[in-house]
Amino acid sequence: MRVCPRPNSGQIRKSVESGAPGQRFLWHTDRAWHHSLARNGYDEAMMDGLSLTTTQAARLGISFLLALPIGWEQEVEDRTTGIRTFPLVSLGSCGLMLVGHTIGNGSADVSSRILQGLVTGIGFVGGGAILKSEKSVRGTATAASIWNMAVVGTATAFGLYGIAGILVILNFISLRLLLPFKKELDRR
């Protein structure tokens, strides 16, 4: 294990990236605390990454709030998913992208890989909302809405609030305002 003077955050990133795989860095200040962290598999650079910025907290909160209207609409219609599911999907997607952006130091490659995994995972979750019976298939709008909430969370993570807001509005219109037309078409 290597002990070095505490550098500024730019130097932390550079030191960790230039170290051998698995090598941990300890700083001179608060040695007992740092040695304890090192024994548990943590290092100073990791601990610096645990701080939550105001921007990140705001984005997480906004992603949660943006999904509430969709969750409320689903609850009103007595769907199996609702006021808890949709905000959690949006929040989880936002959180995953924020973490990926942070650990990847803003790398587009890392963000792209995490986004690909997110799309796949949310597709699987949405697939669970689709129910097929002998004469009909139900839950496709719910599945699409779950997937859309993941996109809302992702857009919020990157500060694309306009896109996130428009997606929520159009999702709400599709679920709530187009429902009478759907019911009319189903009667025919």
| pLDDT tens per residue, range 83-133 | 899 999 999 999 999 999 888 888 888 889 999 999 899 888 888 888 877
Give percent of the chain with pLDDT exceeding 90: 37
Residue 176's pLDDT band (boundaries 50, 70, 90)? Answer: confident
DSSP one-letter string for the chain:
-EEE----HHHHHHHHHHSPTT--EEESTTHHHHHHHHHTT--HHHHHHTPPPHHHHHHHHHHHHHHHHHHHHHHHTT-SS-TTHHHHHHHHHHHHHHHHHHHTTT-HHHHHHHHHHHHHHHHHHHHTT-EE-SS-EE-HHHHHHHHHHHHHHHHHHTT-HHHHHHHHHHHHIIIIISHHHHHHHHH-
**pLDDT value at position 165?**
96
pLDDT reading at 19 higher than 50: no
pLDDT in tens, 119-174: 899 888 888 888 877 787 888 888 899 999 999 999 999 999 999 999 999 999 99
Domain ranges of the chain: 2-49, 54-187
Backbone angles phi, psi at 131, to 5 degrees: -115, 130
